[in-house]
Each structure stands twice: as C-alpha cells, then as structure tokens.
Structure 1
Amino acid sequence: MIKVMGNRQQALLTLLLHTKTGLTVDELSRGLHVTRNAVRQHLASLGSDGLVETGISRPSGGRPEQLYVLSDKGLELFPRQYSWFAELVIDTIRDDAGDDVLKERLGRMGERVADQLLAQSQPATEPQEKVQKLARIMQEMGYNTGEAGVIDGQPVIEADNCVFHKLAMKDPEICRFDLAMMARFTDSTIDHQECMARGGNVCRFKFLPKAK
C-alpha cells in the first residue's frame, strides 16, 4: 500500500496521479523540492517495482523531454471505492437467483481468481510452500497476513484486515469467495477457525489435506 512508502515516493506518485500525461524529471524535482538526482533515484526504485513507467517524449524545441507516468499497478495503490458496486452485484444475484446460486457463484469466482493467480506464479509442490506463497499474495492484496504459520502441524494464515469487511459484516457468506480461492490455490480443505465478520479478532484459516 502507498502508506508504507517513504514520504517522497508517496508525493512523487501523487504528483503523477494528478498529471495523467506525465511529468519530466525537472518538473518532479520542482514539485518535490529535491534534486534531479534524487528524483532519478526514486524513479529507478519505483520503476523496478513496476509502479512507474516511461511515457511519451515531449518536444521541447531542443532535445525531447522524457515523461514519466503511473503504471496500472501504480494506479491501483490509490484507494478506490468498489464496495458499493460489489454490494449491488451481490444483491442483484441474490434477488434474481436466490441464496444458493449466490453461494455457488461466489465459490466459482474465488476459484477463477485462484486459477489466475496460479497462472501468474511459479508452481509450488509442498503444502507449506503453497500456503506461504498464498500468504504473500494475500499480503499484497491488502489482507495484512504476514507470513504463514503452523498450528498442530498444519499451515495457518491469519489476516487482520479483510478487504471485503463492509460486505462481510452485512453478509458473512462473502467469505465463500476467500475460502474457494484459498482452497483452489493450495489444493487444500480450509478450516475457517475465526472470522472478523463473526466477531473474531482475526480471520484464521487452517489448511488441511484433502480427504482421499
């Protein structure tokens, strides 16, 4: 998330957010009140993280000026209010097709997301490795999971931030999406031991081998 970055990098990304066409090193230097070399260092770091990319070159009467812009990944760092739309979709499915169909579709959506994540990542073979990889992906998605742990010999993920918290508080069935996604990604059975939407301090997921 953008809040965990340094103040200068946050400010640089915000400047680019406000100027969709892009800014030059000199313009960023003036906007941030730092040297051009400092700007270049920040751009190199943010570029290596895939948050900033080069845009078009702008004619200047002499040597063209290189513009820098936010990447799609960089744009996603900034808060966006999707919850109202998700709530509308969920209510529409329930009203049109009923609770059972809603539950089935939430599960299918979770499995589809897991398939996309699996296609984008290096394959893991050991159960603990799969869960650890999932924990890191969930951390990037905003669940604030940290590293996976172990309880009674089985991998466990604890999340203290639910990205669907508002929806889940209204309708805990939303958790079916998470459970389906985690089960598919790790090829496990999920024991949902604690849930913030049901009054828990965290969301705790224990990963059990599938019954043969």
Structure 2
Amino acid sequence: MTASGMQRTKWNKRLLASTRGRILALLRDEPRTVNDLSTALQLTDNAVRAHLLSLERDGLVQQRGMRRGRRRPHLAYGVSPEAEHIFPKAYGALLNHFVNAVSRRLDARALRGAMRDVGYAVAQDHLDRVKGRTRRERINAALALLDDLGGSSKFEERGRKQFIHGRNGCPISALTATHPEACLIIESLLSQIIDAPVKKCCQYGDIPRCCFEIGRA
C-alpha cells in the first residue's frame, strides 16, 4: 500500500470511530431524519445538524427526500455512493490481483465454478448457526453475514418473490468491477445459508448494486 493509501486508511478509521462515523453507520443502514439520529445518538438536534452539514460538505451524506412528521415533514438523510469507500471491506487489493491471476489460468466456466466453490466454503463455517432454523431466520442470518463481510443489505418481498438487496454499494465491488462473476460467491453463500436456490440479479457499473432473488426450496 502506498503512503497516501495508508494515510487514507488511517483517516477512514478515525472518522468511523467518531460521532460523524456513527452517523454514517446509521445512515448506511437506512435514511434517517435529524430526529432519528438525535434519539439514536443521544445528541441535540443542533449537534446532529452541525455534523450533517459537515458530512454534506465532504460529499459523504445527501438528502433523501421528506418523511412525514407529527407537525410537518422532516428531511431524511442517507450516505452518498462516494461514502462507501470509507467502510471496511473483508478483502483488499491483493485479492483483486489474485483473481486476475487465477482468471488468466482458468477458462470462464472453471472460473465461475471456482467462485461458487468459494461461496460454498465460506457458508460451511456458518451452517451450524442456522441448523433447524426457519426460512426467515436463515434469511436474517444471511443478512447478518453479509454485514460482517462489509456490506449493508436488506430483505424485500415483492408479491410472491423475495430478494436480498445491497443498501449502498457492493461488499465485493473491488472484484465485481472487473470480474462480475464474483457475485457467484455471494449467490452460492446465500443459497447454502438460506437452504434455497438463489439467483443473482446484480447491477454493474460505476455504482454496483447487489441483488439476489431467493427461490422456493
């Protein structure tokens, strides 16, 4: 890692350990109002507004519409896509170089199989925790595991279909930018944890979005 990279990493750690970092962590889960944040952090509304103003200036927070309040609507805030690089991930540049090297030695089919094998192997370390659990409990365990990997995810039901979405960015975006087949790692992992077929429906580009459809067991 370069000196500037190390400096950036230290800055990120200091930020996340501060009150502003706690605000970012809360907003990463879901958009919140000043009221929500002041209650969660036990700060005054004015103190929260001051932190939000600073985070907005730094391009880490943006307004996300209005929410109905008791007397009047309140602004909701969320993290910006640019803020995602601040949160720690469970991999680094070394992993990206490793996958690049492996992809030069394997054909496309073998590489996809290897990605699925990685997800399967990761899931095996956690299967004891979900043994005998209901489908919804397994889904909740899968969400928690994705959070542990550095992503923030949510469960959604649309009619008879069920999905897991990344809230902001992608937990393995350093890989998916050049190797979209890396999403098969998560697809395989989720399938094992939930004990149901899972199919990736991710969006790629400058700001990747995780999406996995959960099938019926």
For the residue of structure 2 that corresponds to 1:156, the secondary structure is strand
Task: Quote the residue 1:47 is aligned against.
Answer: none
Q: CA 1:89/1:123 → structure 2, altered by over 3 Å: closer, same or farther? A: same
Task: Quote the residue 2:200 is aligned against.
Answer: 192
Alpha-carbon deviation of 1:114? 0.7
Q: Distance in 1 between matches of 2:165 and 2:91?
A: 24
Q: Which runs of 5 or more residues in structure 1 are unaligned?
A: 11-76
1 or 2 for the larger relative contact order (CA 8 Å, sep ≥6)?
Answer: 2
Q: TM-score, normalised by structure 1?
A: 0.55
| Residues 168 and 175, structure 1, Cα contact 8 Å, conserved in 2 | yes
1:42-191 superposed matches below 5 A: 79=88, 82-119=91-128, 121-146=129-154, 148-159=155-166, 160-191=168-199
Task: Quote the residue 1:55 is aligned against.
Answer: none
For the residue of structure 2 that corresponds to 1:202, the secondary structure is coil
Q: TM-score, normalised by structure 2?
A: 0.54
Q: CA 1:83/1:162 → structure 2, altered by over 3 Å: closer, same or farther? A: same
Alpha-carbon deviation of 1:7? 4.2
Provide Cα deviations, 1:21-68, integer angstroms capped at 9, x if missing partner.
xxxxxxxxxxxxxxxxxxxxxxxxxxxxxxxxxxxxxxxxxxxxxxxx
1:202 partnered with 2:209: yes
Q: Distance in 1 between matches of 2:209 and 2:20?
A: 33
| Residues 130 and 193, structure 2, Cα contact 8 Å, conserved in 1 | no
| Residues 89 and 149, structure 2, Cα contact 8 Å, conserved in 1 | no
| Residues 96 and 174, structure 2, Cα contact 8 Å, conserved in 1 | no
| Residues 150 and 156, structure 1, Cα contact 8 Å, conserved in 2 | yes
Q: Distance in 1 between matches of 2:107 and 2:205?
A: 22
Q: Distance in 2 between matches of 1:172 and 1:128?
A: 28
User: What is the identity, as a one-letter code, of the residue corresponding to 2:184?
Assistant: R
Alignment coverage as a number of residue pairs: 141
| Residues 156 and 204, structure 1, Cα contact 8 Å, conserved in 2 | yes
User: What is the identity, as a one-letter code, of the residue corresponding to 1:96?
Assistant: R
Q: CA 1:191/1:104 → structure 2, altered by over 3 Å: closer, same or farther? A: closer
| Residues 142 and 193, structure 2, Cα contact 8 Å, conserved in 1 | yes
Alpha-carbon deviation of 1:166? 2.4
Provide Cα deviations, 1:78-137, integer angstroms capped at 9, x if missing partner.
847943211222122222232222111111010000111223x24353222211221122
Q: Distance in 1 between matches of 2:192 and 2:151?
A: 18
Q: Distance in 2 between matches of 1:201 and 1:161?
A: 6
Task: Quote the residue 2:83 is aligned against.
Answer: none
Alpha-carbon deviation of 1:177? 0.8
Q: Which runs of 5 or more residues in structure 2 are unaligned?
A: 1-11, 23-85
Q: CA 1:81/1:182 → structure 2, altered by over 3 Å: closer, same or farther? A: closer
